[in-house]
């Protein structure tokens, strides 16, 4: 359990580093998408290993609904970028 989750933790650090270092907002958004999916998968793994269905259901809901916020944010940022490039 420790080894599996430790490796997932290391994998989670990669997009966090990317979100921290990269100045391009789209790269940050990609890192956000990666992290949102990875964390919900980790919740599911923990739920299965502990045989705890309550956490499992929460993991499924976060995994399926979590991307909606991402879509809204991406839409707003895209519009902002369009407005900025109009004048160039």
Partner 1 sequence: MNDLYLYGITALLPLTACILVFQVNPYHALVIRGIFGAIAALVYAVLGAADVSLTEALVGTMLAITLYAVAVRSSLVMRLGVLKDDVAFSSSSSSETMAESQAVHPDSPTTFRRLLAELNNQLSQHYLRLELVPYPDQDALRQALMTKEIHATCVGCDRSEAKISERKELAEVTQDSQVDEAYYHTETRIQPLYEMMQVEGLSSVSRVTYVSVSEQEEVH
Residue with structure tokens 């793994």? 45
Contact set for partner 1, span 35-64 (CB under 8 A): 35-36, 39-40, 42-43, 46-47, 52, 54-55, 57-59, 61-62
- Contact residues for partner 1, defined by CB under 8 A: 1-2, 5-6, 9, 12, 16, 19-20, 23, 25, 28-29, 31-32, 35-36, 39-40, 42-43, 46-47, 52, 54-55, 57-59, 61-62, 65-66, 68-70, 72-73, 76-77, 80, 83-84, 87-88
């Amino acid at each position: 359990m420790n080894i599996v989750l430790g490796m997932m933790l290391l994998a989670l650090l990669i997009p966090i580093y990317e979100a921290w270092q990269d100045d391009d907002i789209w790269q940050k958004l990609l890192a956000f998408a990666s992290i949102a999916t990875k964390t919900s998968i980790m919740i599911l793994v923990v739920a299965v290993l502990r045989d705890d269905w309550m956490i499992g259901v929460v993991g499924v809901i976060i995994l399926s609904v979590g991307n909606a916020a991402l879509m809204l944010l991406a839409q707003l940022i895209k519009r902002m970028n369009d407005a900025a490039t109009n004048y160039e």
